[in-house]
Structure 1
Amino acid sequence: MSYQNLLTEQKQRILYITINRESKLNALNAATLSELHVAFAAAFADDSIGGVIITGGGQKAFVAGADISELNALDKAGAEQMARNAHDKVFNFIENGNKPVIAAINGFALGGGLELAMACHIRVASENAKVGLPELTLGLIPGYGGTQRLTKLIGKGKAFEMILTADMMTAEQALYFGLVNHVVEPGDLLPKAEDLLQKILTRAPLGVAAAIKAINAAGNADGFETEINGFTQCFATEDRVEGTKAFLEKRKPQFRGK
């Protein structure tokens, strides 16, 4: 499928999604959010795709935020509809997907851009990346999950500071506080993301999906039950049989996602 605001390319089992609005610093307008839903829905349903790497076009920004011109045109009801729609079809949709998604943060990840990166399962940042939630400078608060995911990732106190001051973090600061997993030189950004995802793709796909679901349930009332259910369901898979057999035979397992 062709997109107006995204570039997609599949290499072996990895789908690369590039937000292609470089002149707008890859800001998330309604059309881009809609295309992201379509692209991720297709990726999650495609058995030939094992995982996704998402990045921004150009060198300046992953995503510099939401499209302010669109926000300015909204009334209260329109803002609620936009936020709920974005949560359901993009941010929560990515986080709760059945395949691993890695954000390759190449430059600014601000507002909705950082919220998009936080919805991904792993974040790799370029040394020149800067991240932040500056919504309070507009008289707003984060509306795409920022208050919730940031608090889970870096803790309540630091989340308060970051959101209330609207200050940005450098890549190294983000690494220190656990907001990103790795910081690399700009030229190593995609290779690092690829290395991580390739390693994940050697694991059992159904097990990966179960792990994603269980980790997302951490802290919920049913978190332990989700883990037990996932663990139990894995026992009914061919991949579990192959994995234990390969271990006992001292060889690499050949997982098939069954």
Structure 2
Amino acid sequence: MAAVVVGRFAFWRACRVPAVDVDRARRVTYLCSRQHVFPDKVSLCSRLSVAATRRYSSDSFKEELRVRYLDGEDAGIVVLGINRPKAKNSISKNLVKLMFEAIENIKKNNKARSVILSSLVPGIFCAGADLKERAKMHQSEVGPFVSKARTLITELGNLPVPTIAAIDGAALGGGLEMALACDIRIASDSAKMGLVETKLAIIPGAGGTQRLPRLIGISLAKELIFAAKVVDGKEAHALGLVNHSVEQNDSGDAAYLRALELAREINPQGPIAVRMAKLAINQGIEVDLSTGLAIEEACYAQVIPTKDRLEGLAAFKEKRNPQYRGE
């Protein structure tokens, strides 16, 4: 059915029904949620497996995006490391392409439990759009590129597994917009964050004007955007912009390490349950309460027939840790 492959926007429109039409909301949510529960597997040869230890040397990485599928006890954690040291991790055509590919592979991998978006360049998360590349574009190219970048960030937000942005340095413009699309943000206290587009006589074009107000409130978002303000990790935490602000360490990866700790906390939980919880929250927050409750009910229905639910009950009864398989 076409409803199975309907996009987020179509899903959102379908869910905007009167509160009394909860049956329709249940049906739509059920159909759309199926793609999140049992995604197709990808072959192992399409995955890039490297050591979990972070390295910063630009000579060690030729790729602008390093995708790491951690193994051992950290199996299920995927780390996306941006690596454009000479361009301050700015968003280029090639980086957009690489991130699209990485996101598509993660969506197809039912072993993925969480994603960490981080930087492999000390002191920088992402400086926003690559303005040097942008300056070389014809005016007719700018709109399509911004649209593609916006779609990329939307796809990042639509990943079915939890996403964590580890902000160990400056996250400006489109860099902060990428972080805003993640479920959780962790920043070092020395990190700098801001939607600074008005300095260039433009506005945030990849979701910043929509996600920031939803996160910290309309008035505060307007202040930050209108004045192109930049805040550090501590200020960002006080505003509710990030979940945690951590003291930076000598290696410059304190936020990444805290994000890894959080991913390890998510890992043991029922993976289908976590996916369904994310779907219920993300879709429910956009509609009225009655429809949102119907969405929750539909998502709950997806976990009832799973083997993981039975494993959870058995583990509780036997007083042992459950071994979930995502089935």
Shorter-chain TM range is over 0.9
Which residues in structure 2 correspond to 1:170-189 (within 5 Å)?
A: 170-187=232-249, 188-189=254-255
In structure 2, what is the Cα distance between the partners aligned to 1:146 and 1:223?
24
Deviation readout 1:64-114 (Å, 9 max, x if unpaired) = 1111123334566533322332232x2111111111211110110000000
Matched residue count: 257
> Does residue 86 in structure 1 map to residue 149 in structure 2?
yes
Cα contact 1:96–1:212 (8 A) shared by 2: no
Deviation at 1:176, TM superposition (A): 0.8
Which residues in structure 2 correspond to 1:95-106 (within 5 Å)?
A: 95-106=157-168
Deviation at 1:170, TM superposition (A): 1.1
The match for 2:118 is 55
Question: Which among 16, 41, 51 is matched to residue 104 of structure 2?
Answer: 41
> Does residue 118 in structure 1 map to residue 180 in structure 2?
yes
The match for 2:84 is 21
Segment drifting more, 43-52 vs 19-28: 43-52
TM-score, normalised relative to structure 2: 0.74
CA RMSD in angstroms comes to 1.8
The match for 2:223 is 161
Point out the structure with max Rg over C-alpha: 2
Deviation at 1:4, TM superposition (A): 3.1
> Residues 223 and 78 (structure 1 numbering): CA distance in 2 closer, same or farther, change over 3 Å?
farther
Task: Flag the structure with higher strand content.
Answer: 1
In structure 1, what is the Cα distance between the partners aligned to 2:120 and 2:185?
17
The match for 1:109 is 171
The match for 2:292 is 223
Cα contact 1:25–1:60 (8 A) shared by 2: no
> Does residue 191 in structure 1 map to residue 257 in structure 2?
yes
In structure 2, what is the Cα distance between the partners aligned to 1:34 and 1:217?
27
The match for 2:193 is 131
Question: Which among 130, 139, 153 is matched to residue 67 of structure 1?
Answer: 130
The match for 1:202 is 268
In structure 1, what is the Cα distance between the partners aligned to 2:197 and 2:191?
18
* Identity fraction in percent: 36
Cα contact 1:63–1:114 (8 A) shared by 2: yes
Unaligned runs of 5+ in 1: none
Segment drifting more, 79-88 vs 209-218: 79-88
SS in 1 for 2:100: helix
> Residues 169 and 82 (structure 1 numbering): CA distance in 2 closer, same or farther, change over 3 Å?
same
Unaligned runs of 5+ in 2: 1-45, 49-61
